[in-house]
């Protein structure tokens, strides 16, 4: 059996985002600096961010991560879809750390094991561990976290293949129980509509963002079923919404929306990107 390297090497650096650490830091900082946030009353429990190449979705992702700039969570749970040909419903990394040009981020193996056990108890299966995956939607958020957050943190990486409301809700409940009492941040990685005209994308994305802002993971699923709005990270997004609600989140604020057409100038077939923050505004 081949030995798995402790650190997952980045398959994205130099293509999906800058491969040089100085250039990457500069690019991410510019996205963060340019975000014009509304007032965000309360504590940010979770953020929702897109996951295309930085030149396309970075201007929108900057809004999500600007909302937590300067924060110092000890643990960050990043939930993303799984686009690659792994077929288990829920997955995590087999490596002990992720690598980007900005350094290594250790995986919190104890927290991964805790979540795995809770999922086995509720669903009958847990997190399949995968090595050397090429999945972009989780890694693409990491340089933003490395530049926005003030201190070191450990990672809880979850990649979601299942697109079932039951699985998503159970994942959200298990995630909330796993991180409860910890100094943790949740991140949902998702793009919105894919390959519609700009006019169609604006209609679909407006409806999806409306349901997200209503803090209704149930209605977010219904939007997909009724083909009224789309999110490629549906399972991850709704799991984070369910978890954030369990952790006391009571308000979702959409921060920004754009499409790939706003970058390329081609509005005939675009991908939608949205950023949002989940807030705990009430003191229990």
Q: Give the model's confidence band at 85: pLDDT under 50 very low, under 70 low, under 90 confident, else very high.
A: confident
* pLDDT of 3 over the 90 cut: no
Percent of the chain predicted with pLDDT > 90: 94
pLDDT tens digit string along 107-164? Answer: 999 999 999 999 999 999 999 999 999 999 999 999 999 999 999 999 999 999 999 9
* pLDDT of 1 over the 80 cut: no
Against a cut of 0.95, is the pTM above it? yes
For the residues of the chain, what is the DSSP string, one character each?
-PPPPSEEPPSSBTTTB-SSHHHHHHHHHHHHHH-------SEEEEEEE--S-HHHHHHHHHHHHHTTTT---SEEEEEEE--SS--SSEEEESSSEEEETTEEEEB-HHHHHHHHHHHHHHHS--PEEESS---HHHHTTHHHHHHHSSS--EEEEEEE----HHHHHHHHHHHHHHHTTS-EEEEEE----EEE-HHHHHHHHHHHHHHHHTT-HHHHHHHHHTTS---TTHHHHHHHHHHHHHTT--EEEEEEEEETHHHHS--SSEEEEEEEEEEE-S--
pLDDT tens digit string along 229-278? Answer: 999 999 999 999 999 999 999 999 999 999 999 999 999 999 999 999 99
pLDDT tens digit string along 52-67? Answer: 999 999 999 999 999 9
Q: Order of strands, edge to edge, in the sheet holding 103-106?
A: 7-8, 97-100, 103-106
Look up residue 251 and give its two tokens.
Answer: 């308000």
pLDDT tens digit string along 154-213? Answer: 999 999 999 999 999 999 999 999 999 999 999 999 999 999 999 999 999 999 999 999
User: What confidence score (pLDDT) does residue 186 get?
Assistant: 98
Closest Cα partner for 205 from 50, 80, 79, 55? 50
User: What confidence score (pLDDT) does residue 86 get?
Assistant: 86
Closest Cα partner for 174 from 279, 68, 76, 246? 246
Sign of the dihedral defined by the CA atoms of residues 158, 255, 52, 183, in that order: negative
User: What confidence score (pLDDT) does residue 136 get?
Assistant: 94
State the CB neighbour count (10 A cutoff) for residue 133: 22
Q: Give the model's confidence band at 284: pLDDT under 50 very low, under 70 low, under 90 confident, else very high.
A: low
Phi first, then psi, for residue 17 (nearest 5°) are -155, 170
Q: What would the mean pLDDT of 22-47 be, rounded to a whole number?
A: 97
Contacts of 208 (CB under 8 A, 6+ apart): 192, 193, 220, 223, 228, 229, 230, 231, 274
User: What confidence score (pLDDT) does residue 282 get?
Assistant: 79
Please, what is the average pLDDT of the chain? 96
């Amino acid at each position: 059996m081949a030995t798995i390297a402790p650190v997952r090497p980045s398959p994205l650096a130099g293509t999906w985002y800058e491969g040089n650490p100085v250039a990457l830091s500069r690019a991410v900082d510019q996205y963060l600096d340019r975000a014009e946030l509304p007032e965000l009353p309360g504590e940010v429990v979770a953020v929702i961010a897109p996951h295309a190449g930085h030149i396309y979705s970075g201007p929108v992702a900057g809004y999500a991560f600007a909302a937590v700039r300067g924060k110092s969570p000890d643990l960050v749970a990043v939930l993303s879809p799984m686009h690659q040909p792994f077929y288990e419903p829920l997955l995590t990394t087999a490596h002990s750390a992720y690598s980007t040009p900005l350094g290594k981020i250790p995986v919190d193996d104890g927290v991964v094991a805790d979540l795995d056990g809770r999922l086995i108890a509720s669903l009958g299966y847990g997190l399949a561990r995968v090595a050397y995956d090429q999945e972009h939607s989780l890694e693409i958020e990491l340089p933003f976290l490395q530049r926005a957050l003030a201190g070191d943190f450990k990672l809880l990486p979850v990649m979601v293949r299942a697109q079932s409301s039951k699985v998503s809700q159970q994942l959200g409940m298990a995630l909330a129980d796993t991180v409860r009492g910890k100094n943790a941040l949740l991140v949902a990685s998702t793009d919105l509509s894919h390959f519609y005209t700009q006019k169609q994308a604006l209609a679909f994305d407006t409806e999806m963002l409306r349901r997200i802002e209503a803090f209704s993971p149930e209605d977010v699923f219904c939007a997909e079923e009724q083909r009224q709005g789309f999110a490629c990270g549906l399972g991850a997004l709704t799991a984070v919404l369910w978890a954030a609600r369990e952790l006391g989140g009571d308000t979702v604020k959409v921060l920004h929306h754009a499409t790939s057409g706003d970058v390329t100038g081609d509005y005939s077939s675009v991908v939608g990107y949205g950023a949002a923050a989940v807030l705990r505004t009430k003191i229990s």
